[in-house]
Amino acid sequence: MMAAERIAGLIGSLPPLRGRVQENAPLAPFTWFRAGGRAELLVRPADVDDLACFLAALPLDVPVHVIGASSNLIVRDGGLPGVTVKLGRGFSAIAADGDAVMAGAAALDVTVAEHAAAAGLTGLEFLSGIPGSIGGAVVMNAGAYGGDMASVLDWAEVVTRNGEQRRMMARELAFAYRHASLPAGAVVTRAGLRGIPGAATLIAARMAEIRASREASQPVRARTGGSTFRNPDGMKAWELIDAAGCRGLTRGGAMVSEKHCNFLINTGHATAADIEGLGEEVRRRVLAASGVTLEWEIRRIGIPAGRPEVVSP
């Protein structure tokens, strides 16, 4: 737990905010793993102007973390120092205009896909298979089922760490595999996506196909964080994990999914250390069996409660 006097001092340094501030806020309920530590201060801005004014006046020595749907996130058990920003209702609007869909960073990917379908736009169906929000999808160049953000994004609006509001065109983001180049500390607040006019029946059929495929192959009803490791070039992470004998492997309350072994699961009482430690054990075994060092796709942030485990490349 964060020291009360440190939190009091941090509160005293905060600029005015129209949104909400919560001290020593538990973050586990926000993460799909349902595990992890607390935020010294959890800040929920009312809208983009509130966020911009807040960041412009926030001392630069105060750490800032941003969380969204937290579907691919481990918050370590020691928690997050400084300010944790969570974008909420004021960042969730979705609107279609012609072949464009504008979506706030807090809008869920599946909801954006549904709005595009309702507008008769194809090309965004892949979003229905990604369990996250649009802000995170931009930051990670999220992709699945034959599509990714790099192929559909026109622009992204961001607020920089010094409070500047900017619109960045897709080419400025220099998209790579699961990566976008954003200014350090920038917060994505809205994105403009492009679709193609299509037949409603075909769009609906494709989304149903994606939903069925995901439910058949992934542990969608478990406490998980999505794909744990990136696919190495020309290889599938799950195949390497399976070949290393890690399917069903456990550590504390964490387990490698029997259904899809590139997914880690909280079986009910896992700590963040259990989950991250299990991931590192998987990396060790894959490295020993194949010579391949798996790279984490899940973000891991915060302070470990104990000594972290690492695998050197």
pLDDT tens-digit profile of 112-136?
999 999 999 999 999 999 989 999 9
Within 8 A by CB and 6+ apart from 258, the residues are 247, 248
d(CA 43, CA 254) in angstroms, rounded, equals: 30
Confirm whether 178 is a catalytic residue: yes
Q: What is the pLDDT of residue 8?
A: 65
Set 38, 44, 178, 190: catalytic member: 178
Set 125, 227, 251, 276: catalytic member: 227
- Nearest by Cα to 210 from 122, 151, 125: 125
Confirm whether 6 is a catalytic residue: no
Q: What is the pLDDT of residue 193?
A: 98
Q: What is the pLDDT of residue 16?
A: 87
Confirm whether 38 is a catalytic residue: no
Calculate Rg over the CA atoms of the chain: 20
Q: What is the pLDDT of residue 2?
A: 53
Q: What is the pLDDT of residue 13?
A: 74
| Domains within the chain, CATH numbers bracketed | 4-89 (3.30.43.10), 92-217 (3.30.465.10), 223-301 (3.90.78.10)
Is residue 198 within 8 A of residue 173, CB to CB? The reply is no
Rama region for 49: left / alpha / beta (φ>0; ψ in -120 to 50; rest): alpha
**DSSP reduced 3-state for 154:** strand
Q: What is the pLDDT of residue 5?
A: 60
Report the interhelical angle of 109-118 vs 200-217 (nearest 10°): 160
Beta strands in the chain, from DSSP E residues, in sequence order: 20-26, 38-44, 64-67, 73-75, 80-86, 94-97, 100-104, 121-122, 143-144, 147-148, 153-159, 165-169, 187-194, 196-197, 223-224, 250-251, 254-256, 264-266, 299-301
pLDDT in tens, 149-196: 999 999 999 999 999 999 999 999 999 988 999 999 999 999 999 999
The list of the chain residues with pLDDT below 50 reads 1, 312-313
